[in-house]
Structure formats: structure tokens, C-alpha cells
Amino acid sequence: MTVLDNPEQLNDLRLSVLEHLNNRRANQAVVLIGMGTCGIAAGASEVAEAMRKELAQRNLNVKVIGVGCIGMCVKEPLVDIQLPGRPRVTYANVKTDMVPHLVEEHLVNGQIVKKLALAQMVEDGIQPEQELDTYQNLPFYRKQLRIAMRNCGMINPEDILEYIAADGYQGLAKALTSMEPDDVIEEMKDSGLRGRGGAGFLTGVKWEFCRRARGTPKYVICNADEGDPGAFMDRSILEGDPHAVIEGMTIAGYAIGARDGYIYCRAEYPLAIQRLEKAICQAHEYGLLGENILGTGFSFDLHLKEGAGAFVCGEETALIASIEGKRGEPRPRPPFPAVSGLWGKPSNVNNVKSYSLTPQIILNGADWFSKIGTEKSTGTAVFALTGKIKNTGLIEVPMGITLREIIYDVGGGMPRNKRFKAVQTGGPLGGCLPESALDTPVDFDSLTQAGATMGSGGMIVVDQDTCMVEFARYFLTFASAESCGKCVPCRIGGQRLLEVLTRIAEGKGRPEDLNEIEYISTQMQQASLCALGQLTPGPVMASLRFFREEYEAHIRDHFCQAGVCKGMFQYEIDEVKCPGCGLCLKACTSNAIIGEKKQPHVINQVNCIQCGACYEVCNLGAIHISPRVVPLVEVEEAVD
């Protein structure tokens, strides 16, 4: 290891590492295993251990490398095998007992195990031995464009040399040697990059405000406090390509005149923190952090701050208070952090994705980036695609792609041919959009106009079996519980709103409740101190706007059409459609289904616990959801 004293040494090292990697690819087989949190949770560690043992027993000269998440989380554990001079082949959902067969057939005999290769490759008739060296051949990736995630799943995130070989720190070298700080800011402004944390403010303008602000020292802060349910974009980038964030923050430090930066990452991300710590140490060892970086006279250092997991600390002023060791609560703005931030000094706060995009913008130029996406929302957007969809995982798509393309072309549509119902964008503070909005372009302005938000990148798809009242109540439960309690509209308003929704979901709603929801929501939006309180009513108002009939059915008819709200529906068997196959009878754990084989079955409503097991296993549509017949005793009790 040599401390890099100038950009020429960095470039020489890049060429040397590239030559080494190319020689390795030409002479040695390589096995790459997805070792992000999603892969490890699915058993990737055990698969990697089994692979190493099998290779050792056979005395095979094969390199096993752990990489980050490639995005296909639904297919984890993922194992890629690349023979010398041959394309890379992906095996999905690999278990330890599959390892000996993969080694024998692919690594020893050189034959692809087609029955274990990624199913999408086989279904599309792609010949693995010809064109599988690029993920763009898979349906999941065909409409994706990876910039922020370009290295995730492709390089070893714990090896700085592999990052350098992939043009790592070249953007920093360009900025430090051929650009003045104002030039860097102008390049970022010309690129049109808008902050990927949710607000969508122009990144270059934000940097300019901080650079022009009076006072020193100045600070660069990375908001990695990702707390949205079902969101894991920042975590995956930090785990799969931590040096991209470090490089982006160092460029930002040079642009605004800062010597120190802070990465605020929640403690629930131990793997991300571990890899960040290692990457920071490696950057120091090579002289890419610290004093006199690349011999240019510019000095910059990074510090890691672990958060305790408070959702409100995703708000920049609350995050800054937490770094200072104070209670994580937002404060009124102005002054904004660019003027008075960390310890009262000018500070720039950006999201993980914003910083990871920065090196590529500086290296390739603003024109390159601005031509991707739309005029007002340039570049790409990273989403965690989850919910009732076949291809759950992490995606990066050009701005302007439609929701329909994401859900059906990338996501593969609904499992079991269920009907699409809604998609929630923007996380727990966003909004849901119905089927009629599927052709909405995915960009900051179009989503806002449609009634949702871009947010930081959560995208949850729901199908016909989802109750939108309960769906909105779920997000409201989370948001109200995460309120810091500093301001009354958020602290009290969220609880009152939750009480109304709970009453409706339990079949005790009143017609005036819908007006009360709108009134409380308006007051919270107008009077709350920060975005948490202002946006908490978002999912409720969006679901009420597009699915008002479901709320009315809960209140007027005491009926949940989706069969989610207990006590408001019952399962019934259609005698005409029921062939008496017995699947529902076997699935029932409460002995509520009776009937002879090959004869229509019946559900005993007294014993039925409404678990939905029978409904799930019936493939003939013989079981349906009907309004619950309320016993006379309950009616009399309600009147009394």
C-alpha cells in the first residue's frame, strides 16, 4: 500500500489494479456471492462457507468474493460464477445443498446448470453461455439505469482497490486538480440534480448557499438515517459501495470549503456501519482522506455518528441536534442549516444517494447527467420496490419512467394474477395512487401533482386484498408513534387522527368522521413544525381521495370488502364453484369447514376465526368475502 501523493499515482494504481483483475478473469474462475443484509438474511453466509469448503476439498483455484446487493432481493441468496473468458452466470435462491452440484457441473465440467440458473434467463430464451455477462439482459434490469448503484453487486465493497479500478476517486481527482470550488458548484447546478432525500431541492444551489454563508468551520453531513418501513436504498448503497459516498462527500467538502464531514447512520444498520468504518480507514491509508489529499493542499476528514433509530432524525435539523448530543428534535427554520447548522456553523446536508451520484456527475459532466430523465427531474431514481409484487427488491430507473413500467415491466406485476389496487410512494409520509394513475411519470413534480410524493425512494404495491382504510391506519400508526412530541399539531393531531381511523376500521365509524379526518389533516399540514407532522396525514388523505367508497362502506355498511378488518365480513363458499377438493378443509385450523369429499363444503360461522387460510388456498374462486350477518343480540346491545 502506498499513500497517493498526486492524481498521476491514483491513475497508475487504477491501471495496475485493472491489469491484475483482467489477468485474474482470464486465468482464474471467480464466484461472487451477494453479501448484503438481504443476502445474509436469506442464508448467503452459509452458502459462502459451503462454497469455500467444497472448493478446498476439491483443491480448486477459484476466487470467492462477497459483493453487495445487486437489487434482486427476492432471488437471494444470489451466486454468480464466471469462468475464465466466459460470461458471468447467475444462480438464484441458492441453498447450501446445491453448492456441490454447482461446483461439479459449472466449475469442474464447465456446464451451466440451467435448472438452477435465474429463472428469468431461461424463460426469456436467453442462452446463458452467450449473453449473460450483463444484467441488462434480464427483464428486471432492462428498463433500469444504474448510476448510484453502478458498483453494488459488482465489486467487493471492502476492497478500495476494486473501487479505484472502477474509476473510483477519479471524480475527486478531477475536481481537486482542474476545477475551482465554484466550478464544481456550477457543474452540480447545471446537472439539475435534485436532492434524493425527498424534498427535491437543487443540490448545487444548496451547496452554493453553504459556500456563500458566513462563518467557519463549515460541515458536510450525510443523512443515512433511513427509517421508512420497507425502505432499504441507502443501506444497500452503503453496504455495496461505501467509497462512492465518501468520494461524493469529499467533493462536496471541497466545493463548500469544509474540512470535516459527518455520516449519520442508524445503529440498526450494523453491516453498513462496519463497511463504512473499513472504507474510511482505507481512504485514510491511501491518502484519499485526511491532510493534503492527492498533494493538492485540500484536507478533509469524515466521522461516523450512529443514530438511535428515531424516525424524526431524518429531518435535517433534528439530525444535527442528535449529532451534537442533544435530543433529536427539529427546530424552526429559518435559519436553515446552510446558514446555521452543526454547532451553529454553515452545514450542508444531503442524502446517501445524492452523494453517491456526485462523483459520476463530476467525472462525466453535467451534460451527460442532465440528458437522463426529464427536464426538471434529471438523472435516475432509486426505489425499494416492495409489497404485493413479484420482483421485490432495489431498482434504479431513469426519471420519467411511468409507474406502470416499474410495476409490470420491472416488478413483474401482481403475484397469483391478483388485481392491482394502489401504489404508495414516498414512504409512510407519502401518498397512494390508484390504477387510473399508473401512467403517471415518476418524477418529483408529476408525482406531487398526482397526489403522492417522490420521498426518499419507498414504493409499496398493494393488490385487491388490501383494505385501504387499514393500509392508511398502518402508516398513521407508525408516523404518530415516531412524533418527537415537540409541537402540539403533530403530537395531538396524529393521535386524534389515529383514533378516528381505528374507530372506522373497527366498524364503529360515524358519517361525520370523514369531515373530521379532513379537518385534523388540514390543521396538521398547516401548523406542524417539521415535515413529519406536515406529511403524516398524507397517506390518509390520499386514500380518502381515491378510495372514499371503502371508507363509506366501513361506516355505512360495516363491511370491509378486502376482508381485512375483523368482525365486518365473513367468508362464504359458493356451492356451485366448490368441487369438494378439500384444500380449504385441510387449511382450516379451527374446524370451521365441513363437507364430504367431492361435495360442496360449508363454513360454520360460529367456529370461523377469519384467518383467511381457506381463501388463500382456494384456486377456483369458490370462497368469497361477504358482509357479516350481525346477530340480533349484537344489534340490541348496540342500541342499548
- Whole-number pLDDT of residue 1: 60
- What is the mean pLDDT, run by run of 10 residues, along the chain of 640 residues? 88 95 91 96 97 96 95 94 88 95 95 79 42 62 94 95 97 98 98 90 97 97 90 94 98 98 96 98 97 97 95 95 96 94 97 97 97 96 95 96 96 93 93 96 95 90 95 95 94 96 91 95 95 94 95 92 85 93 93 92 91 90 81 41
SS (H, E, C) 196-228: CCCCCCEHHHHHHHHHHCCCCCCEEEEEECCCC
Which three three-digit cell numbers place residue 85?
473468458
3-class SS of residue 132: coil
- Whole-number pLDDT of residue 175: 98
Residue (of 54, 53, 80) closest to 67 by Cα position: 80
Residue 247 CB contacts under 8 Å (≥ 6 apart), including other chains? 168, 169, 171, 172, 288, 358, 359
- Whole-number pLDDT of residue 633: 40
The one-character DSSP state at 429 is G
Residue 487 CB contacts under 8 Å (≥ 6 apart), including other chains? 527, 528, 529, 530, 533
Full-model pTM: 0.91
Q: How far apart are CA 342 and CA 220, in angstroms?
A: 9
Q: How far apart are CA 323 and CA 327, in angstroms?
A: 9
Q: What is the dihedral of CA 140, 370, 289, 315, to 10 degrees?
A: -80
Residue (of 140, 88, 155, 146) closest to 117 by Cα position: 88
Which three three-digit cell numbers place residue 142?
432492462
- Whole-number pLDDT of residue 544: 95
| Alpha-carbon distances, residue 98 vs 72, 112, 448 (angstroms) | 19, 13, 47
Q: What is the pLDDT of residues 276-302, one digit of tens each?
A: 999 999 999 999 999 999 999 999 999
Contact present, 210 and 294 (Cβ < 8 Å)? no
Q: How far apart are CA 147 and CA 125, in angstroms?
A: 28
Q: How far apart are CA 573 and CA 593, in angstroms?
A: 10
